[in-house]
Structure 1
């Protein structure tokens, strides 16, 4: 028995040493903003200062006097996820691809708490600051959870709502096993680790597991995600995410949404099941639902031409 105990203790020691070595190998500090801004920003990129030392980055494409469409990305993502949509919709709409705090090129204090309700307030403040009397709002995943909150709060000004694999519903029944990053995120110690390391390996595993065709997630896509997360304060904000705030939808609450609503979802989404979008469709009276076969969690990236075409058709039919 004593020999077994020694062997067991030795194995634990080896595992701990290995874990510590891996942590030290992956640990990296925040990086300066200027090189990342120079690498990724251009003439269409702008910044808006809001109270609380928040500086939101957004990409403004299309005609300034065209109907406005605000696009909101998912957790860990950025405005870049919408590049395929912007390319196809900017001819008719003013496309505003926004970075939420802790994401992309936006800047916020490291103690900012990533909460869906707070993010919805910021989007409303963004629309106010740009003097948008009417605007459509679209969101993917976490961004969808923010978008429907904006539609509820600003019904007189929101012309249309578009939900792409949107977050909102409490888990119902058995769900697919989440990516390793999301499993680590559920534990306080895991968050402490993630806010100190280069998360590139987890980003690669997570993104490629979320799409039907993993080849779409190129090294350039992963590098961009990883570089944005290394900006000052970003990882700390990402680790502050209040996950329950993304699970507060109810049929009673969503029934108050009266604006035209388009709901998109990939049939192969392993993160948020397509049945959640069916629940949105049932709860929102003025809604349409499209389920895409052979598509995962990111229809705007996986099938940009088809999904943007469906959005353009939907907005045109509703004279937006």
Structure 2
């Protein structure tokens, strides 16, 4: 064997050893259900074979809040709000396809409309009407898309660091978020479907929180475990995130339901300018900007943000659970 051939062989062996060290198998749903489901967990089987997971918290006859999480997150993100609001409201915390404990069939093609369809399926299955629909980040885009298409089922809309109605994330920051850059590479997308995601998850959470101390090992483990559910990594790497929806932007001025827009001015993932643009486009919007807070105020400042939500839900002429204004 020539020297060049030996060098190539050594590089190949090193790459194989690195891939083997980083390789991570899926975690079966049976294991994840035991680890992350609780007595509020419910499952809904859809006609396409999807096993849709959601958490049902609070009195069954109370006004309903439907919460939709962001990219790579889960229904667990909303528990800080749910614990503070459950005495007054019924909270339905959904896991989107490729996230949490929802199991998508092999035939599922990741898309915004596919996620919106899951929200619609939950609304239909539970015969829900006049709900307040709440979404964070990507979940804000899902929530807004559903609300714009089904305004008669919406009492109000809450958008927390939402994407979709302003310039793409990748063009509104000096440097696009690392995950956005990775998902732009076919090689990176392939690798992300198989390797240990812990370093990437930790990096992403620190960006989201803007606070290293808040990103605990337990939180990183939770996100990493749920990303390893069967089929999740394929869906996560197949989603196109952070893109402007021009149809949504054009329809926002026609949406006549009360809307609460929340954002942190230290958000590194979705600049506060997006929240300002969304609020300016909506005829009945209230904007709350939290100084020094990042992408997930419902976790970072749960007490304060839940109190702001409670006040908006209960008080004033634009309370979403007051009778609808005549058109």
TM-score > 0.5, shorter chain as reference = yes
Q: 2:168 aligns with which of 168, 171, 174?
A: 171
Structure 1 segments (4+ residues) deviating >6 Å: 12-17
Q: Counterparts in 2 of 1:147-296, with a 5 A limit?
A: 147-168=143-164, 169-171=166-168, 174-243=172-241, 246-249=243-246, 251-296=249-294
Greater alpha carbon shift after TM alignment, 248-257 vs 97-106: 248-257
Residue 255 of structure 1 aligns to a residue in which SS?
A: helix
Aligned CA RMSD, in angstroms, stands at 2.1
CA contact (8 A) 1:23 1:197 kept: yes
Look up the match of 1:137.
Answer: 133
Inter-CA distance 210–14: structure 2 relative to 1 (3 Å threshold): farther
Inter-CA distance 222–176: structure 2 relative to 1 (3 Å threshold): farther
Look up the match of 1:44.
Answer: 40
**Aligned-residue offset at 1:13:** 8.8
Normalising by the residue count of structure 1, what TM-score does the alignment of the two structures yield?
Answer: 0.91
Q: Hey, what's the Cα distance between the residues in 2 that align with 1:165 and 1:85? A: 16
**Aligned-residue offset at 1:116:** 1.5
Look up the match of 1:85.
Answer: 81
Q: Hey, what's the Cα distance between the residues in 2 that align with 1:144 and 1:16? A: 44
CA contact (8 A) 1:74 1:141 kept: yes
Look up the match of 2:112.
Answer: 116
Q: Hey, what's the Cα distance between the residues in 1 that align with 2:163 and 2:301? A: 20
CA contact (8 A) 2:155 2:320 kept: no
CA contact (8 A) 1:73 1:98 kept: yes
CA contact (8 A) 1:261 1:288 kept: yes
Inter-CA distance 132–214: structure 2 relative to 1 (3 Å threshold): same
CA contact (8 A) 2:258 2:320 kept: no
Structure 2: any 5+ residue segments left out of the alignment?
322-327
Equivalences, count: 311
Normalising by the residue count of structure 2, what TM-score does the alignment of the two structures yield?
Answer: 0.89
Q: Hey, what's the Cα distance between the residues in 2 that align with 1:299 and 1:67? A: 23
Q: Hey, what's the Cα distance between the residues in 2 that align with 1:88 and 1:254? A: 30
Asked if 1:57 corresponds to 2:53, the answer is yes
Q: Hey, what's the Cα distance between the residues in 2 that align with 1:149 and 1:228? A: 25
Residue 44 of structure 2 aligns to a residue in which SS?
A: strand
